[in-house]
Structure 1
């Protein structure tokens, strides 16, 4: 069965199988023929916090909007639903974000459709519409109630990031596990509790992919020992290139490959370039007085810091990682475990420092161009741009 799933997605990871006609040669043909999947975009948060409408032209305000997604050749988007650990009534807030997506879909039936299965997804892509799915970023959002997973699945959630930076009572995060005094789970340990393992099994049963981006190393290994389905890292990068707690070490990458899962590379400059963290720290210290004054006015700390990047544009540009590092992270995974285990999870509109050149969703073709220049053939490019995550999605159904 697993072989049949892999074989099936060799043919559906592009809009028309290259075996059926002379293969495309130009950049535009290869990019447009691929089914381009991005597993992580936070634009829904902007609809909640800033009142943006994503079917409007938001150029210069966000990384994304509906028309620019199509302009960049995007076919499938997992929309992230997020709140931090301090959010009151996070389940209610998560549902409000999903409501905002549903409203966009109702207004734009010729452009975007929510899908429940890979079969539906492929039909929507063939109609030249964006197939929409949801990723819940942080297990705290279903408030320790395993029964809410059924409702989330029915609303279109197809992966859940077990933790955000904050731990839950049943799983510890990378942020906490990397600290000496970080929060432990309800059993006073790192990793998954028995409830956490039940949640993983429930997700496996429903068809919700288990996402290990943001989780701690012990939680990761507990997931590997518990899951019966392939897992994903929806927006993570390579620790060896950039040693950040959010990134994956070689043994973790190998374990995901052995599990049949996939790692979707994050565009955040601080996760792909090891020199960025210190430069970014200096930038925030330089503007600390201004940030603190905004906080005193009741502005969310994340929003206060984000405003500095927008205000001091020239300084921000100097912080950004070079574009080639995105491709270096992709290629590192390919050389370590093979081309079947890597994809794209941009984190657009959830980050303030995308790499140079990757300014917004219209720049996706630069990735295809770089892969061509590094010698990858069409079949492998189709896998990287979307085929690999489609295989894992199908395997979880």
Structure 2
């Protein structure tokens, strides 16, 4: 069965490998793995590490690497999608649909008008922050419970909603999350977040957060990132537990799969302390069919698996892409 991965840091990887003189990274490195895993669609993120010096410069560098990759690519293999129609084209023609997103807007600083430029460059999903506190909001790594969404972040959301950019709430602090929920006019998505009740870490969502996302027509992308699957023993079976929990809590129609595989980022020196063990049985894109098989073994019907694996996100994009 085909799968749409709602979060991958592939654009970061493209930039990383470009610095080392490698080109055509999507086709030569990622395409075979995506095909092996039967992944026909990806939400590819530009992520800026807030811990590095001059994150804005790095952000612009990654935007350039992405644009260059798209320009040089053989589009027989990929559809760089900005509309739902283009995603349908990819599905019909056995191509990989690539939606582009921004994971954390630290790279724009206070210049929220640059969101319009990012939209024109083809970005259709954005999150305000990663784990850090930036000029827009507090991320889940913030120790100050009083910090959340600020006025500039509120204005950024207004711009996004006017343009038709989907807001990703993964990585927000709990206060930022509820501040966002108070003002959003459209459904939101947690592209790669798991269940706090099963793995109590700040990156995961509590039951009331999951419920409010679902009530507004949003989605939760269950992740394979080991540190949010299980703090002691992350396994593919534990990922199934997260899926089952959300299904029982709010229903099948609000689940998608945002794996956040990090195996290909191990060569990045700045991440060497965080990219270590992987979730056993679901270490990379090629292992996705094993998850689909395990869902069936755990009693999910073919229709339910289809919804989880790609249709829910596909339908969400149809309703919410600008």
Provide TM-score, normalisation by structure 1: 0.72
By how many angstroms is 1:96 displaced?
2.9
Structure 1 pair 387/95, CA: closer, same or farther in 2 (3 Å)?
A: farther
CA contact (8 A) 1:172 1:191 kept: yes
CA contact (8 A) 2:261 2:283 kept: no
1:325-377, Cα deviation, whole Å (9 max, x unpaired): 11111111000000011111111126543211222211111121111111222
Report the Cα distance in structure 1 between the residues aligned to 2:168 and 2:75, rounded to whole angstroms.
29
- Give the match for residue 63 of structure 2: 98
CA contact (8 A) 1:43 1:348 kept: no
1:40 aligns to 2:7 (yes or no): yes
Supply the RMSD in Å over aligned alpha carbons: 1.9
1:270 aligns to 2:237 (yes or no): no
Alignment of 1:98-137 (within 5 A): 98-105=63-70, 106-137=72-103
By how many angstroms is 1:192 displaced?
1.3
State the SS of the aligned residue for 1:119. Answer: helix
- Give the match for residue 207 of structure 2: 250
Structure 1 pair 382/228, CA: closer, same or farther in 2 (3 Å)?
A: same
CA contact (8 A) 1:84 1:166 kept: no
Structure 1 pair 107/170, CA: closer, same or farther in 2 (3 Å)?
A: closer
By how many angstroms is 1:322 displaced?
1.9
1:360 aligns to 2:284 (yes or no): yes
Structure 1 pair 144/391, CA: closer, same or farther in 2 (3 Å)?
A: farther
- Structure showing greater radius of gyration is 1
Which residue of 230, 235, 241 maps to 1:322?
Answer: 235
Alignment of 1:68-79 (within 5 A): 68-79=33-44
Give structure 1 stretches of 5+ with no counterpart.
1-30, 59-64, 277-320
1:220 aligns to 2:177 (yes or no): yes
By how many angstroms is 1:166 displaced?
0.9
- Structure 1 stretch 153-162 or stretch 101-110: which is displaced more? 101-110
Q: Compare relative contact order (CA 8 Å, sep 6+) and give the higher one, 1 or 2.
A: 1
Alignment of 1:122-271 (within 5 A): 122-176=88-142, 179=143, 182=144, 189-271=146-228
State the SS of the aligned residue for 1:152. Answer: helix
The alignment of Structure 1 onto Structure 2 pairs a total of residues equal to 305
